[in-house]
Amino acid sequence: MNAEKKHTVLQATDLSIGYFSKKKPILVADVINFSLKQGELIGLVGANGVGKSTLLRSLVGMQPTLSGGIEINGKQLASLTSLQLATQLSVVLTEAPASKNLTVQELVTLGRQPYTNWMGALSESDKKQINYALEITDTKKLAHKKCFELSDGQLQRASIARALAQDTPLILLDEPTTHLDLYHRAYILKLLKQLTAETGKTILFSTHEIDLAIQLSDTIIIMTETSVVTDQPCKLITAGNFDALFPKDTIDFDKNTGRFSIKK
Amino acid sequence: MHPVKKHTRYFWILAVLLVVTILVNVSLGSVSIPLGDVLSSLYGQGASKETWSFIITEYRVPKAITAILTGSALAVSGLLMQTLFRNPLAGPFVLGLSSGASLGVAMLILGAGAFGGYLGSVLLSQWSLVIASALGSFLVLLAVLAVTFKIKDTMAILIIGLMFGSVTAAVVSVLSYFSNAEKLQQYIFWSFGSLGNQSWSGVTIMLLCCLLGFIVAFSSGKSLNALLLGENYAKSMGVRIKRTTVLIILATSILAGGITAFVGPIAFVGLAVPHITRQYFKSSNHFTLLPAVMLSGAILMLLCDTVAQLPTSEFTLPINAITSLLGAPVVIWLLVRKRKLLF
């Protein structure tokens, strides 16, 4: 399929993000322009403190933007009610569920909240979606385990299953691979890749696993102190954008292998 | 066994236990009345002695209903607070809600002397006690909430709740210092807690407060479930956080404030019952937990009251002391056995 014709799920136009301290706006990043297409896996990379989390929080409406616009499926983010937004995008945050007493089944079931009645009664299609989410994330056999009994990798899978149960065209994940071993980091990112292919969902994740992100993502957003660049990973490598990510005297980027190495 | 079937069985067991504890509670007291006479009074046929049926219908039955309402209302407000603050140690007592109610009542009873005369006597009607107590607890909760919006750390919120308790105690001591012995005694007896001596109109007011609180609690059940994930997740699933927070606080202050006005501050029920209930109901769903803690709270309160009555003796122990004596060891036992307290 021609990439130009893909449906745009999320569009950021001249976006400035930041926060208010004592009523004065503190700018974190500006002139952010990108559009996320349907069925794409997008990696968001950048050094610590450059504003990845602020950008994600702004995109999901948890934090007000300073200026510019965010459109989700053609509608301004600010014009959507919280319930409408809940059917458009779901999130996987770095924070674990507040209650560790929840079972995986309960956790995933909560994802259906935007669709259920005041008592949260489940219809057949709700149950089907929950079952699908449990199966594809391989958490079905953990369904009756409580969150405090899970390993970090299992908990991350369960959190992704909850977001899948919410069945939104867009899923945003904040550093889904932290605290995980190499196998689980690869597993989670492969799972995300598989989901975009199978379900046509658009998935945006922030990560420090730049090597893995380059290998799997359709698009990468690079955030540095001075700019936000968005393109396909191979084009970003050719243009030398990854070199700007870290100070050159410590970390070097090898264009041929697509990997970072420590300068000795 | 399937969890839902298991829950249905537990609900039946609790219902049977409730009936048994009601009968035990109504049968035992300083005057011993044969079970047959107790039952016939309950059916409205009167006991073989006039005084017996009077004791049953005008004293023991209102007391049993008060115990049921107190236990279930405090247990529900404890559950609501634990979920809202996402802290297993939260409860009406720990967060200074009961202290707020105490302050409201102390200002009314002890402060009414300062207003004196006509205003003083108007202020001391039963309704004004409810209003003073509810207002007191509501104000403390608002203060705790204002802090919650500023500070994300739940431990800090709990410490601030405890600080409100100390400030309240200090204000009450100052008020006590300036009031006369009679007023002081009235306040101290209120603070001991007492389920007895409730008029039927008092019981009706309590029932209305509880019904209102329970309706609000149940209507927030879905949002409460979402809050188990944390505020950010709840928001991302379409929960209107501010509205939900206000509703939960309203329900809690109506329940805890209303009850505390009539029976005085009752320790530990609000904190302990949700944890005890979670031991056998392996569910985090509030539509299961709310009725479960209501039943468990009612049963526990009836038991405590039966013990406090010291059957066949003329003495009645302060109910507040009994709930603490039973509640504190239960919480310690849970901690030692499970090594962690989850909500």
Beta strands in A89-246 (DSSP E): 89-92, 170-174, 202-206, 219-223, 228-231
Mean pLDDT of chain B, nearest integer: 85
Distances (CA, A) of B181 to A71, B99, B254: 69, 22, 31
| Residue that wins the pLDDT comparison between A89 and B183 | A89
> Is residue B343 in a domain?
no
Residues 6+ apart with CB under 8 A from B317: B307, B308, B310
Concatenate the DSSP letters of all residues of A2-25 into one string.
-GGGSPEEEEEEEEEEEEEETTEE
A146 torsion bin: left (phi>0), alpha (psi -120 to 50), beta (else): beta
The answer to whether B1 faces chain A, any CB pair under 8 Å, is: no
Domain that holds residue B26: 3-338
- Residue B141: what pLDDT? 74
CA atoms within 13 A on the CB side of B336: 6
| Residue that wins the pLDDT comparison between A23 and A13 | A13
Mean pLDDT of chain A, nearest integer: 92
The two tokens of residue B329 are 């060891």
Q: What is the CATH number of the domain that holds B303?
A: 1.10.3470.10
Q: Any idea which of A14-18, A60-64, A101-105, A152-156 has the lowest mean pLDDT?
A: A60-64
Q: Is pLDDT of B242 > 60?
A: yes
**Number of structural domains in chain B:** 1
Packing angle between helix B286-308 and helix B3-27, nearest 10 degrees?
Answer: 20
pLDDT category, B139, cuts 50, 70, 90?
A: confident
CA atoms within 13 A on the CB side of B308: 26
The share of chain A scoring above pLDDT 90, in percent, equals 75
> Is residue B166 in a domain?
yes
- Residue A1: what pLDDT? 44
Prediction ipTM score? 0.92
Residues 113-132 of A with CB under 8 A from B: 113-114, 116, 118-120
- Residue A216: what pLDDT? 93
pLDDT category, B254, cuts 50, 70, 90?
A: confident
Q: Are A220 and A230 in contact (CB under 8 A)?
A: yes
What CA dihedral angle connects A34, A38, A39 and A40, to 10 degrees?
A: -10
The answer to whether A106 faces chain B, any CB pair under 8 Å, is: yes
- Residue A117: what pLDDT? 93
Tens digits of residue pLDDT in B317-338: 899 889 988 888 887 887 788 7
Residues in chain A within 8 Å Cβ distance of B239: 82, 113
Q: Measuring CA to CA, which residue among B227, B182, B5 is closest to residue A99?
A: B227
**Residue whose structure tokens are 């600010």:** A78
pLDDT category, A134, cuts 50, 70, 90?
A: very high
Q: Are residues A119 and B221, on separate chains, in Cβ contact within 8 Å?
A: yes
> Is residue B198 in a domain?
yes
The two tokens of residue A3 are 């990439």
Residues in chain A within 8 Å Cβ distance of B235: 62, 82
**Residue whose structure tokens are 């977001």:** A163
The answer to whether A148 faces chain B, any CB pair under 8 Å, is: yes
Q: Any idea which of A83-92, A111-120, B61-70, B111-120 has the lowest mean pLDDT?
A: B111-120
* Chain A CA closest to residue B226: A110
The share of chain B scoring above pLDDT 70, in percent, equals 90
Tens digits of residue pLDDT in A135-176: 999 999 999 999 999 999 999 999 999 999 999 999 999 999
Q: Are A232 and A238 in contact (CB under 8 A)?
A: no
Q: Is pLDDT of A221 > 80?
A: yes
Residue A173 β-bridge partners: A92, A205
- Residue B164: what pLDDT? 82
Q: pTM of the predicted model, to two decimals?
A: 0.89
